Amino acid sequence: MPQLARLLQETKAPMVVAVGDVVSRETLVAGIPVDVRIVDMMTLRRSIDSTNYPSRRVFKVKNPAGVIAMEAWNVIKEALRAKDAVVWVDGEEDLLTLPCVLESPDGAIVLYGQPREGLVVVRSSREKKREVRALLDRMAREEVAG
């Protein structure tokens, strides 16, 4: 985490978003400021103890595994506007990294964990947003009943 703290200090990112329970908890323990955390109380498909994330705003949303529900996307937009927020996901948060990159301001840092690999750091930019849109265009679209 010291390398991450240095990177965030050097980049002066306008926003930091953590997607995932391990990343969210580790940044909290390390004292790394995060504007929005998105968690589902699971890691590697196993339940974990919930962590008390201090935040001004708390959002709760359902998002089935392997899906980006429109409701979840809208909650992410609201959380990013609010800053100092935590989003508790009933379901799975893994794919929610994609709307975080798209909806965050240019220069924002989006963090997520890659199981058995480590921390992934994505800097939001026009180019990165184009890449994410292209990826989403290749994904199947279907209506999800709420």
pLDDT for residue 53: 74
Does residue 59 contact residue 79 with C-beta atoms inside 8 Å? yes
pLDDT for residue 146: 47
Every domain of the chain and the residues it spans: 2-138
- 96 DSSP 8-state letter: G
**Given the structure tokens 């995932």, which residue do they identify?**
20
Question: Helix, strand, or coil here: 146?
Answer: coil
Per-residue confidence band for 128, with pLDDT thresholds at 50, 70 and 90: very high
Which are the contacts of 9, defined by CB distance < 8 A and separation ≥ 6? Answer: none
- 56 DSSP 8-state letter: S
Among the listed residues 41, 40, 35, the one whose alpha carbon sits nearest the alpha carbon of residue 18: 35
Question: Helix, strand, or coil here: 109?
Answer: strand
Asked if pLDDT for residue 43 goes beyond 70, the answer is no
Asked if pLDDT for residue 97 goes beyond 70, the answer is yes
Asked if pLDDT for residue 31 goes beyond 70, the answer is yes
Rg of the chain over Cα atoms, rounded to whole angstroms, equals 14
Per-residue confidence band for 1, with pLDDT thresholds at 50, 70 and 90: confident
pLDDT digits (tens, 9 = 90+) for 51-93: 677 788 999 999 999 999 999 999 999 999 998 999 999 999 9
CA 38, 1, 54 angle in degrees (round to 5)? Answer: 40
- Rounded mean pLDDT, 113-123: 91
User: Mean pLDDT score of the chain, rounded to an integer?
Assistant: 90
Asked if pLDDT for residue 44 goes beyond 80, the answer is no
Does residue 86 contact residue 55 with C-beta atoms inside 8 Å? yes
Terminal alpha carbon distance of the chain: 37
Give the least confident one: 38-47, 83-92, 122-131: 38-47
